[in-house]
């Protein structure tokens, strides 16, 4: 039991700062939720606890159907700090990418996932929140095939002057970090657009565009090397999609899409040409089946997500 109310059912995952477990909340009729627990050794550093608490403050600004709902921040015995949040029954985009070839996403499904990520981040950016660590591990897909963006542990407010990271220290996952994150320059929402492009490349090739055995070498690739050709794509990748990815990962942020809404607009512009038939205009976005997509009109979905 944690804090006298959360019964641990099983572990869900681990990271550098802590672990996530599935629990039954005995104070609320054993409702199943998730707890993100900060490792005790990490909790001895005050800035880690401050960042952990800050994740709750930022995530609470983001009530959106494509963002995991965060409930509370708490402290249990022996310096155990935790965040309670919505439990998502499903998988992560990272595990989806590792699935057998027969279970890999189709191009239509790739578009749908990217589209929902754009919606979640457009909403976050509108609230002044930059994710800063967008990667497949932080994109969950529930059993209804709805994307749920999670882990705002290194997120920050766009106009925030209270930095919890030492000067000159980069924050994020190096494979998906924008060039300006490596150099310690001031950043804005366009670092998330860069990460979106890296994931968009990976979704159709099964591999990241930049790989290196050490961080310095990887940083150099992000800073200086052009996006490589789409190596061994799993299906025919249309030229407009290649241009879309290239536009996301331009080295200078001024050359990228100006916003997630603009990126989504480009996806919607071409989506109907790739087997996505029109539907009746619903108020809410309709989920797509992973192996048997329902009828989805991306332009209708755009109006729903960005209204």
Q: How far apart are CA 301 and CA 161, in angstroms?
A: 35
**Segments in the chain forming alpha helices (H):** 40-43, 46-59, 93-97, 107-126, 179-182, 190-205, 215-224, 239-248, 260-271, 298-306
Owner of token pair 């600004």: 61
d(CA 226, CA 46): 40
Residue with tokens 């681990």: 14
The two structure tokens encoding residue 194 = 């860069």
Residues 6+ apart with CB under 8 A from 49: 38, 43, 81
Candidates 199, 221, 179; CA nearest to 137 is 199
Task: Starting at the earlier edge strand, list the strands of the sheet with 90-92.
Answer: 90-92, 139-142, 147-149
User: Which of the following is catalytic: 25, 72, 77, 133?
Assistant: 133
Q: What are phi and psi of 34, to 5 degrees?
A: -120, 145
How many Cα atoms sit within 13 Å of 220 on the Cβ side? 6
Whether 142 sits among the annotated catalytic residues: the reply is no
Residues known to be catalytic: 133
């Amino acid at each position: 039991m944690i804090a006298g109310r959360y019964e641990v059912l099983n572990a869900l995952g681990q990271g550098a700062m802590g672990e996530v477990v599935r629990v039954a909340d005995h104070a609320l009729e054993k409702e199943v939720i998730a707890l993100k627990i900060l490792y005790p050794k990490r909790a001895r550093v005050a800035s880690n606890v401050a960042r952990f608490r800050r994740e709750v403050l930022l995530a609470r600004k983001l009530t959106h159907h494509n963002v995991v709902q965060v409930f509370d921040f708490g402290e249990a015995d022996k310096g155990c700090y935790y965040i309670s949040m919505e439990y998502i029954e499903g998988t992560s985009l990272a595990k989806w990418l590792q699935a057998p070839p027969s279970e890999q996403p189709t191009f239509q499904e790739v578009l749908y996932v990217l589209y929902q990520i754009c919606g979640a981040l457009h909403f976050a950016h509108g609230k002044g929140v930059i994710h800063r660590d967008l990667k497949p591990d932080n994109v969950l897909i529930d059993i209804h095939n709805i994307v749920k963006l999670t882990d705002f542990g290194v997120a920050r407010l766009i106009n925030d002057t209270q930095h919890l990271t030492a000067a000159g220290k980069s924050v994020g996952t190096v494979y998906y970090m924008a060039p300006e994150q490596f150099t310690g320059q001031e950043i804005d929402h366009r670092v998330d657009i860069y990460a979106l492009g890296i994931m968009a490349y990976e979704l159709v090739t099964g591999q990241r565009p930049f790989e290196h055995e050490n961080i310095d070498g990887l940083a150099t690739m992000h800073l200086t090397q052009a996006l490589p050709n789409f190596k061994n794509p799993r299906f025919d990748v249309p030229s407009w999609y290649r241009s879309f990815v290239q536009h996301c990962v331009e080295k200078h942020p001024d050359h990228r899409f100006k916003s997630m809404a603009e990126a989504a607009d480009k996806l919607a512009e071409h989506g109907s040409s790739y087997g996505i038939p029109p539907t009746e205009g619903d108020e809410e976005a309709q989920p797509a089946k992973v192996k048997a997509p329902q009828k989805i009109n991306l332009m209708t979905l755009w109006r729903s997500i960005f209204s």
